[in-house]
């Protein structure tokens, strides 16, 4: 387990290296001295990496709490990377709907699923890597 003092003492080297905190959470140290939090995990037989942010903006405690929540998602069979992408697309759709409403163009009564991108009319609206939608 890393401490704040250990993170402050990390010096960059000529190559990228990982300083582990445990259970897949690590700090990626770049040659220029940047520190990035990453979470490495396996889902459906594939190794994946999820970016959590850069230190010091993302503190050690915050990174650990996000890491714990992502591990809970994995325990329930949910891929954190796919969920993050789906939520990003959902935010985009919500922002576009607000902008369209301001412009006077509304699409009343049409619901787009944030996970699979299919509207209630059955027409795909968004491209998504998530194949199984839990409507």
In this predicted model, what pLDDT tens digit does every residue of 19-70 receive, in sequence order? 999 999 999 999 999 999 999 999 999 999 999 999 989 999 999 988 998 9
- Residue where a domain stops, chosen among 55, 77, 99: 77
> How many distinct structural domains can be found in the chain?
2
What is the side-by-side order of every strand in the sheet holding 17-22? 17-22, 25-29, 35-43, 46-55
Q: What is the pLDDT of residues 77-129, one digit of tens each?
A: 988 888 888 887 777 677 767 766 666 655 555 555 555 555 554 444 444 44
Evaluate whether 39 touches 50 at the Cβ level (below 8 Å). yes
Same domain, 60 and 72: yes
For residues 103 and 64, membership in a common domain is answered with: no
Rounded CA-CA distance 102/26 in Å is 43
The whole model's pTM is what? Answer: 0.66
The answer on 85 and 120 residing in a single domain is yes
The residue range of the domain holding 40 is 4-77
């Amino acid at each position: 387990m890393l401490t704040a003092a250990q993170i402050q003492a990390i010096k960059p080297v000529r190559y990228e290296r990982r300083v582990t905190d445990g259970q897949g959470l690590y700090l990626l140290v770049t040659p220029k001295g940047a520190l990035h939090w990453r979470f490495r995990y396996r889902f459906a037989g594939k190794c994946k990496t999820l970016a959590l942010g850069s230190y010091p903006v993302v503190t050690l405690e915050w990174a650990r709490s996000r890491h714990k929540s992502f591990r809970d998602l994995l325990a329930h069979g949910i891929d954190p990377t796919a969920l993050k992408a789906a939520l990003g697309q959902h935010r985009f759709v919500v922002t576009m709907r607000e902008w369209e409403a301001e412009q006077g163009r509304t699409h009343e009564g049409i619901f787009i699923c944030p996970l699979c991108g299919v509207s209630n009319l059955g027409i795909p609206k968004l491209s998504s890597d998530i194949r199984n939608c839990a409507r």
